[in-house]
Each structure stands twice: as structure tokens, then as C-alpha cells.
Structure 1
Amino acid sequence: MSDFSDLISVYKKRSGISAKELGEGTGIGSNIYKYVRGSRLPSEPGVVDLISDYMNMSNEDRHKLRDYWRIEHFGKERIALWKEIETMLQHFRITPDATESYMFEQRLPDSLLDHSISYIRGDLNVQQVLLAILTTADEGTIHAVVQPDDPHILECLSIAEKSANQSKIQNIIRMRQRGDHYADIMRKNLSILQNTLQLALGSDRYTSYYYYTDYVEQEKWPLTSSYIVTDSCAFLFGNGDTAMTGIFTKDPRFIADLNMHFDSLMKESRPMVIRPDSPSRIIEDFQSYYSIAEKTVPHSREIVIGTQPCLTPFLTNDICERYMCRDHTEIRPFVEQYLTYLTWWRKHIRNLTKDIVSIDGVRQFLATGRIHEIPEAYYTPFSKEDRLQIVRSWLASLSPDNVHFLKEDSCLVNSGLTLTSSPTFFIISLVRENSYHIFFSKEPSTTSCFWDYFSNLDDRIYMPFSEGKQRVQKIIEQFR
């Protein structure tokens, strides 16, 4: 007998249900006798639920029966470890003793390594442990499930990527599908996308993958925190009530479990970033984009979101001749391709875009003469007169059908990033350190998710069109 079989027997007796009736009623058949005697254990939790449902167990006893099954199925030691970790991951309310909370330097202290599991509390402690693990790992692969929407965590990843070690960092980014609060979800996704791109596009060793989940698919993401795993250690961390909290362990079984979990997730994930590694690669990406976009965009309205308005369609040939740098051998092919792009845009897309812009983006362009969509090395800043000409041309083309003005506290992306979405494809373009990068996707989950978001933005984050236009006109007058 066992605790599992004993509890079934107790409920059988209490409910007056025979083993035969229980076996037939649940569809388990004669195996029920083995379960009652304790000579055999159900192979999956679904069978346990069938038994508890048929006997109309209370919620408390349902959980107890399942717990007994798990203990016998997996073993008490493993269950105890899981419960300890689940408590930390889901609640982060464990306050470790002073002897278990460390201030870390770049090298992990021996006192930490002596523990099978060590609890870490405090943002600085967590960041230092994370940085120490990332920068001291031997050559190999670092598996990560980290949301880089925390600037301090992002900084740790950036430092690690630029450090001397040769480890490769593979990070799975959790993105949420549209849910009950889809505006908040997608705004967070945009933030994560931007931060991930800024890290990944500047790195040869960091690779990010995106994985979509919704509220009914939590079983695919049993870990609610972030984790970093190397060949020799694992570190799990997340936000607690007042500070970040984490677990550090060198338990080989747990490390193996997390790596297996990572591998299974990666099979369902897609790369988030395609990094152009040469001017010729950039041109190839442009041409690939054009060949697809020309066939699809004219049949639907394209949505472009960025801090600045999409100003490149308003660059005249005369302005391009005066400001574009064609003399540099390496830059010339890109400039020529970009000029072709402008001609194509004016011909096919100019009247088919819906810009989502902030007033600050207009002010920023007038102040700097720089357009975020173009790397600074490819052109010289526009003169004051030409800046005004470009903005006036844009202003003259505005209508409620093609522009939405964001309220000043509702900007969805930072400078330098342009997100473009249509019903059939999704594009992110990013200018970073004078390099132009494109992520282009026809992945249905990405495309539908962001198109749906852009098409259904809450009106509360927009200012009235007439008010936005008046503000732009006032900025122009002040700039003169």
C-alpha cells in the first residue's frame, strides 16, 4: 500500500463506490484494482484527475491525491527540490538569512559554491551574480530565458557579450499573444523587441529567439522567472516584493532539467534577428523586401510606428543629391539602393501608409537635421531651410487617414527604431552605430499579433488629429 492507494481506498469507502464501478465509470478498467492495492501507479496525472472527478473529491483532497501521485512517480527528493524552487519562482517571498545573502564580486565566492542551493536577495546581488556567471563561463553555450526589458539586466548581457570569454549566449524571449489586456501586453512586447534588437544586432555571439504564449499555454512556460544555465551552474531570478531574488545551484540534475527545458522551447521558437553582416547583405535584404512588399502593400494600408514621422518619402531628388554621401566606396552601394528605395516608396506606398508618430520626433528632427531611418555616415545633416521644407511637405500631406499623433506620454518605441506592419508581413528596421539592420518576417504569429495591435490601438493614447497638427505648426513657427 501507499499514501496514494490509501487515499483512493478511503474515498471509495466514504462514497460507497466499488472498485468495479470506479474502473468502469472512469474508463480505467481492471487497472483500478492495481491502483487500489498499490501494486501499480497511473502513468500520467490525467488518470488521477479522472479518479478524483468520478468520486467528487473536495479541492483539498484532489490536490492531495495528485501530490501523493507526484511524490511516488518522481521521488520525494525531486519533489522537495521542485517545491522549493516553485515557491521561489512564483512568490519570491523567501527572505534568506544573512549568512545566505551575499554581495558578489566578479568572481563567484567559494562560500556560494559550497552550497547545493543558495538564495540571493537584492537587485545588485542578482545583477552581480548574473554578470559573474556570464563573464566567467568557459567556452560553450550559455542558455538563457531572460526578458531584456530591465535596463540593468540588459546592461549585464551587453557587458557579457563584449567581454573576453567566447561563450555563445542563446536567449529565448517570451512574447505574449493578444489577451484581455492586449494593449498592455503588446506595449511590453514592443519594449522587449526594441531592447533585444539593440543587443542582438551589435553582437556576434548573442542569438535571440522569440516564443509566443498566451494565458492558456502556461504549461509550456513552467518557469515564471528568468534563468541562466551554463555547463556547470544554474541561476534563476525574478522580481520579489521589494527586490530581485534568485537561486544559484550547481545541482547537475537541475542543470540538466533546465537545459532540456530550453532545448524543447527552442524547437518551437523562431530567430528574432537576422543580422546583416556586410553592405552586400543589406542590399540583398532590401531587394528581398521590395520584391515581396511590391506585390502585397498596394492592396492594404501599411502601418509605420517610430518616434519620428516617416520622413524619407519627402526627400526630393535635389535634397538627396546635396546631402547623400556617394564618394565613399563602401557606402555608395547602399546609397544607390536607398535612392531606389525612395523612388519605389513614393510610387507605390506613399499614400498607403498610416504613420503613428510623436510630436517630440518632429521637434527632434528640426533640432538635429537627422532622420533616424538613415545611418549618419550616409549623409550630412540637413540645413535649417531644408529641415523646414521636409516637415512642411510632410505636414501638407497629413490627414486623419494617414497619421495618428501619440500623446506625449504614450510613445511606444525609442528613437532609431521603425516598426512596420501589414496584414502579410512585419518589419523592424534599426539604425545602430551607423549600421542599418532589418528584421523581416512573414511568420503568421508575429505578423497577425502586431498588425492586430497597431490596427486596434486604444484611442486614449492618441491626441486629436487637429490638436497634433496645430502643435506641429507651432513647432515650425518657433523653429523659424
Structure 2
Amino acid sequence: MSAFSDTLSQYIDDKKIKVYSMAKYCDTDRSTMYKFISGKRNPPSDEIIKKMAQFMHLSPMEWQKFKESWDVARIGADAYYKRKSVESFICNFPDQPSAEFCGCSFTPDVTYAENRSDCISLTSLQHINYYVHQMLLSEADRGSGEIQLFLQPDYKFLFNLLASLNPSGSLKISQIMCVGTETTFTDDHQLINLKYLHSVFPLYMAGHDYSLYYYYDNIESHYQSFNLYPCMILTSNEALLCSSDYQTGIFFRSGEVLRMLKNLYISYQEQCTLFFTPAPLTPENHAVVIGNMFDSDFAENDLLGIQPESCLTPFFTGTLLREMFNHDLPNADAILAMAEQAFQMSMDKIKNQQFFIYSTYEGLLQFVRSGRTDEIPEIFYHPLTTRQRIQVLEGVCACCESGAYRFLQKPLNHLPGNLHFCIRGNSGTMIFKNNAGKIFVLNIEETKLVEIFRDYLENMEESCFYSKEESVAMIRQIIDYLKKKRTETE
């Protein structure tokens, strides 16, 4: 028996289905249908699954369970839930807030400030939350603050508070986390490492000076198996040690204890590796960032990407790039030369079938309306004219015809407008805007995460995409509209 055969048998019994009639409806023989029911065989195609569901009159929730059980039986539980976790991470990536982002303001708790005990026992989650709250708000109110975390990103109160901070001066946040050596899922089948990643991204979105370090170990044995206080939170003048469930802990103000714990934290950090290498995209560092994104590793490997709009930079070459470029920028000639080389390299990879981008039709329409792409900060170029937009769309259309570019269907056709993600070799890059509208580039240094995303992108099913013919027809419709509009205005 398998997960699929169990689910199928349950529906047949509950709905009193006649096996012979269902087999006939699905254009298969009765013996084959019984093999599906017993788990000796799995249905070979999505079409048969859909016909079985139609015959049994499954509700939307029943259909979801039925389809999921078939996918699990077909590709294995670990592979299925790992890919679903990636899909969930992409679909729920934090987008820019619609209103201006404001961090939290506060008035320090006088009671907390007056309690000068050097050591306080903490006996509940509420008790720990109170001291964490005061520690972080007090540190954010300093002219130059520093917060050091040695814990997993599963403390929701802490990370929600960190993401909402509005420091009065500079605030540096660093964290050390454990990355599991094996594929581990939560009770609801989420890949735990991706769940952690989803928890820390609001800190990048808030624009904090945040550094995430990692080491490999067995998460459960390190945090949940008779370890007294494995979690630590440090600020300039205070420290808090607590259990992995955040129910008990000890709060310290002693300078001697704090110095010892800070030295311990630094020694641990030196043995760890940065999870991401962040780089905000600015006029001053744009050439450097482009150079890093299109280094020798890019030249030697295929590129896989997923983002809201089609990748348009390969078409920004030659005359078009020089026409749209903002030549008033500092170091304009160097930036222009670097960009032209990088974008041409992308076009060469497209021609060599080494460049594959999955995007949404709605994302392409955003470019059509505005003449801009989120891949490049607005300061670097002027909005494309109607003629230039048509030129770019012709290039995108050719890439759809070759299969290098594909448009996503449900549920990925509603990607967050903020995420641009690509994999090249053993490296990964995420490009997004933070709450202040600044473009950030995060280079992924942790190879297991790169492997997880590559597995997902390489194994996306045909049902995720529009066909080549449908994609080309949609772009042609846009081009015809723009040509007509251009003729009317000339």
C-alpha cells in the first residue's frame, strides 16, 4: 500500500464507487485499476488522476489531498515536501509594504531600568519576552548598538520585534544558527531550514545591518536533548540565556559575565560561515556588484531563475543600453562598460541554451506599462520608450519560442513582485527591494540551500507553465498593442 492507494481506497469506500465503472470512465481496464487501489502500480499520468477525481466527484479539498498523495507516491515524500517548501517560500516571500515603513518607537520601562540586580531567574515565556523586549529597545536607543544572537530563528516574538526596530543610531545585529545535516521537516511538512530562512528575511527587508552565520550539526540533539540553556541573546550591557522552548532562562547585567559571554560568542562566530553576502545596489558599488554577479562561476555554468517579470537585461545591449543609460552618474563609463559586458554574457548564454528564466505574464505587463524593470535601480537608466519596449519584447518573444523563457501558471503566476532569484553552479543570488525601496543583492553562501532551490527549478512540472504557443501569442498581443499605440501618437 502507499499514501495514494490508501487515499484512493478511502474515497472508493466512502463514496461507494464501482471500480469497473470508474475504470471504464478513465479508459483503462479493471485489473489496472485494482493495481492502483492495492498500491502495486501508480497512475502514470496527470490525466488519469483528473479523470478519477471527476468520476468520484471530489471536492476541492479532497482533490488537493488526492493529487498530493499521488505526487508523494510518484516522487517520494522527502522530494515532494522539499519542493513544496521551496514553492511556499517563493510564494510567501515578503513584499514591499504599501505604505511607508515605520519602525516601533518606545518609552523605556522605568521599572526595568531601576531593577539593577545582576542576575535574575526567568520562569516563563512571558517573563523572557518582557526582558527581551526591554533589552532590544534599549539597545536600539543607543547611538551605536549591537545585538548578538546564538539561537535558531524560531523565536517569533524576538524576530518580529527585531524587524520592527527603528534605531536612533547605528545598530549591528549578528546571529549564529545551526543548519541541519539531514533533510528535516516540521509536523506540517515544511522544510525546517526554509522555515528558518523565512523568519529572518524581515530583518533584511527592514534594512538592518544584519549578518547571519551558520554551522552544521544535528539541530534536535543540539537544542532539544538535555541542553541546559543553549540559546543566548547579548546586547552592549546585558545578556540573556534561555532554553530552546523559551520558557526558562537567566538574565545578567554583570560586566564580568557579559565579557565572558561576548568572548565566547566571538569564538563561536569565528568558526562559522556567513549564510549570505549582502550588497545594497548603489551608484557607487553597482559596477562591483555586477562584476560579482557575472564572475567566472557565472560564465562556466547554466543559469536558472524565477522572478515576477522576464529577465530583460540580456536585451539591454549595444545602442539600446547607451540610449537608456544615465550618463550623468559618477563613474558612468566604467559602469556602462561593466553592464554591457555582463548583459552580453547573458545573451550569449541564452543562445547557447544555458540560460532559463521562469516569470509571470503580469510581471511583463508591469514593464510594458512603466518602461522599467526592478532588476536595475531607476537611477541608472531612463524609462524605455515605446519603440525600445517593442524591441525588448521581440527579444523576449524569441526566447519563449526557444524555451529559454517560460510564463508561470497557478499558483506561481502570482509571485511576489519583490523577489528575483537565480542559481548558477554552486551559487545563488536573491535580488529584492527592502522596505525603504533600496535594492539588495544577497549571494547565498550555504550550498545546501542552493541545492534545494536548484532541485525545485530543475523539476518543475509542465503544468506549472503556459505552453510555448500560448506564451508567444500573449507577447505578440502586447507588441501589436504597442505598435498601434505608437502609430496613433506619431
Q: TM-score range by the shorter chain?
A: 0.5 to 0.7
Change (3 A) 1:412 1:178: farther
Partner of 1:50: none
Change (3 A) 1:154 1:375: farther
449, 452, 455: which one aligns with 2:455: 452
Is this contact kept in 2: 1:226–1:236, CA < 8 A? Answer: yes
Q: Is 1:270 the counterpart of 2:271 in the alignment?
A: no
- Could you tell me which runs of 5 or more consecutive residues in structure 1 were left unpaired when the two chains were aligned: 1-103
Partner of 1:312: 313
Q: Is 1:293 the counterpart of 2:293 in the alignment?
A: no
Partner of 2:240: 234
Query: How much is the aligned-residue C-alpha RMSD, in angstroms?
Result: 4.8
In 2, the alpha carbon distance for the partners of 1:213 and 1:149 equals 17
Partner of 2:148: 143
Partner of 1:425: 427
Is this contact kept in 1: 2:163–2:202, CA < 8 A? Answer: no
Partner of 2:251: 249
1:386-397 equivalent positions in 2, closer than 5 A: 386-397=388-399
Higher relative CO (Cα under 8 Å, sequence separation at least 6) belongs to 2
1:283-329 deviations in Å (ceiling 9; x for gaps): 234335444136512xxx31112222211112353332322111333
357, 381, 399: which one aligns with 1:355: 357
1:31-430 equivalent positions in 2, closer than 5 A: 105-110=106-111, 113=115, 116-117=121-122, 119=124, 121=126, 129=134, 131-136=136-141, 139=144, 141-145=146-150, 156-157=161-162, 160=165, 162-172=166-176, 179=183, 184=191, 188=195, 191=198, 195-199=202-206, 202-203=207-208, 206-211=209-214, 216-222=218-224, 228-230=233-235, 231-234=237-240, 249-250=251-252, 260=264, 263-264=267-268, 267-270=271-274, 272-275=276-279, 279=283, 281-293=285-297, 295-297=299-301, 301-350=302-351, 351-399=353-401, 401-410=403-412, 414-430=416-432
In 2, the alpha carbon distance for the partners of 1:371 and 1:190 equals 26
In 2, the alpha carbon distance for the partners of 1:128 and 1:140 equals 15
Change (3 A) 1:307 1:278: closer
Change (3 A) 1:408 1:324: farther
Change (3 A) 1:247 1:405: farther
Change (3 A) 1:233 1:441: closer
In 2, the alpha carbon distance for the partners of 1:150 and 1:379 equals 42
Change (3 A) 1:448 1:183: same
In 1, the alpha carbon distance for the partners of 2:476 and 2:157 equals 38
| Deviation for aligned residue 1:394 | 0.6
Q: Identity percentage over the alignment?
A: 16
| Aligned-partner SS, 2:279 | coil
Is this contact kept in 1: 2:281–2:440, CA < 8 A? Answer: no
1:5-34 deviations in Å (ceiling 9; x for gaps): xxxxxxxxxxxxxxxxxxxxxxxxxxxxxx
In 1, the alpha carbon distance for the partners of 2:479 and 2:285 equals 42
| Aligned-partner SS, 1:342 | helix
| Deviation for aligned residue 1:427 | 2.8
In 2, the alpha carbon distance for the partners of 1:421 and 1:207 equals 23
| Deviation for aligned residue 1:378 | 0.8
- Could you tell me which runs of 5 or more consecutive residues in structure 2 were left unpaired when the two chains were aligned: 1-104, 483-490
1:116-139 deviations in Å (ceiling 9; x for gaps): 326454999799547524424685
| Deviation for aligned residue 1:420 | 1.9
**Letter paired with 2:296:** I
1:33-77 deviations in Å (ceiling 9; x for gaps): xxxxxxxxxxxxxxxxxxxxxxxxxxxxxxxxxxxxxxxxxxxxx
**Letter paired with 1:346:** M
| Aligned-partner SS, 2:183 | coil
Normalised by the size of structure 2, how large is the TM-score?
Answer: 0.58
| Aligned-partner SS, 2:412 | coil
| Deviation for aligned residue 1:282 | 3.8
Is this contact kept in 1: 2:214–2:275, CA < 8 A? Answer: no
Change (3 A) 1:177 1:390: farther
Partner of 1:55: none
Q: Which has the larger radius of gyration?
A: 1
Normalised by the size of structure 1, how large is the TM-score?
Answer: 0.59
**Letter paired with 2:380:** Y
In 1, the alpha carbon distance for the partners of 2:239 and 2:414 equals 37
**Letter paired with 2:370:** T
Aligned residues: 363
